[in-house]
Structure 1
């Protein structure tokens, strides 16, 4: 298939390297500290479950012995990274907010050159969003050059069912996990176009996973259309998007913007992998 003008412009741009990222996957890799890896694995399991689990549920999810989990959770509670409810269940603690906010800002800064190339190539506002627990949080944005443009505040949190970024991020999860998330958050109707039926939404995600990108066609805000693609990275849980007035993002614009989204998302993922 011939390259679109947008794809040619993207290929011609030289992307700066991102700052170095280092780390070990949860569970501990070669040379890692096992207890730290386990602590992060427990935190990830809490986040995946919506932020709260009991001791036996953590044991079932991780396969770790109950005494080991109990010791780690006591340490995390003492540090404020986890709290224990009156029900004896464990929940994510307030000190994680500061860490998460700082990490989001740094990730947004790293991704900004990629967003700038996307905004320049498409002429529309480019965004970066992360899946944080049951919500989508916008962490970076490069605005459109047009006078009439969309604007999403960096740091804003939204439910994923009505956004293109939410759709591509949830499309990476097993359907039962998506249903559990929707049961926790609900599916409030924001516009007449918002999908509020869980099974219809899950079916839509199958198409999203097949195509590699998603559309919010006035489902979050009337008159606004957004296209998004997931950043294909094993731990980032991120998506890039382009948003603008629906009148400018019709069928022809969609056909040229969708490939540009996947190109930029792939470049960002490759940069993150190279620095790991």
Structure 2
């Protein structure tokens, strides 16, 4: 029984640690009371975990009462990415897109049943924060998601998105399976996907799946996110073509 209690206590401690980290991640930067509330812990318990995580570099305390994720989380995240994606094959192409458009460039992959952003180059003139590493993008409402869906068979993408109604994030979100099917056909014809303020108001995005080896379904996608008022309607096709060409360059390196 002693061994069982020790294992249970250890697992409980791990769960609380994860809840604290997720609470800080969700808040961005916040105080003890908010973290404790989000994590479902009392403040005394939350403070003990925050102190330990701060000593280990996973949490950073600043302005005496505020907490945010620490450098160690970033370092481990970058290491995890480097093990999955050869950045030497991806980053130069992302940097070229950033240099041309000066808008945020994103690289994502399919992980399980989700589209996860694994690298971001932020625009130097960003008015608002667009994407962050580790963010999950909606399949049906993001250009990244739709570009990957369009690379699948109809049976595959329908199995992923499920049945209507699909969740609405803005007034522009496609919420019907029929509407999504039409958009996927347009994406296939264009060679790139468009998110026209469907996931986030004031943001427009173009994306293309990174071609995989023959017989394999693409697992990566590349996109550029534009603040809507900075993207002229006649520039959309040009941006889409450039993203498609960039995705093909990355695919050639990865194959």
- 1:24-103 equivalences under 5 Å are 102=80
Paired position in structure 1 for 2:105: 126
Residues 103 and 126 of structure 2 are in contact (CA less than 8 Å); yes or no, is this contact kept in structure 1? no
Of residues 150-159 and 200-209 in structure 1, the stretch that sits farther from structure 2 once superposed is 150-159
Paired position in structure 2 for 1:190: 169
How far did residue 162 of structure 1 move?
Answer: 0.6
How far did residue 174 of structure 1 move?
Answer: 1.2
1:224 to 173, 178, 203: 203
Distance 1:128 1:176, change over 3 A: same
Distance 1:105 1:140 in 2: 13
The answer to whether 1:200 aligns with 2:179 is yes
Per-residue CA distance 1:144-197 (angstroms, 9 max, x = gap)? 121425421101113211100100100011112222211179721111111110
Distance 1:186 1:130 in 2: 25
Residues 164 and 176 of structure 2 are in contact (CA less than 8 Å); yes or no, is this contact kept in structure 1? no
Paired position in structure 1 for 2:246: 264
Residues 112 and 141 of structure 1 are in contact (CA less than 8 Å); yes or no, is this contact kept in structure 2? no
TM norm structure 2: 0.63
CA RMSD of aligned residues (A): 2.4
Residues 178 and 202 of structure 1 are in contact (CA less than 8 Å); yes or no, is this contact kept in structure 2? no
Distance 1:159 1:186 in 2: 14
Paired position in structure 2 for 1:107: 85
**Structure 2 runs not aligned, ≥5 long:** 1-75
The answer to whether 1:145 aligns with 2:145 is no
How far did residue 135 of structure 1 move?
Answer: 1.3
How far did residue 250 of structure 1 move?
Answer: 2.8
The number of residue pairs the alignment matches comes to 175
Paired position in structure 1 for 2:134: 155
Distance 1:136 1:184, change over 3 A: farther
Higher relative contact order (CA 8 A, sep 6+): 1
Residues 125 and 149 of structure 1 are in contact (CA less than 8 Å); yes or no, is this contact kept in structure 2? no
2:237 to 255, 259, 272: 255
Distance 2:182 2:82 in 1: 30
Structure with bigger gyration radius: 2
Distance 1:162 1:108, change over 3 A: farther
TM norm structure 1: 0.58
2:194 to 177, 193, 215: 215
How far did residue 109 of structure 1 move?
Answer: 2.8
**Structure 1 runs not aligned, ≥5 long:** 1-97
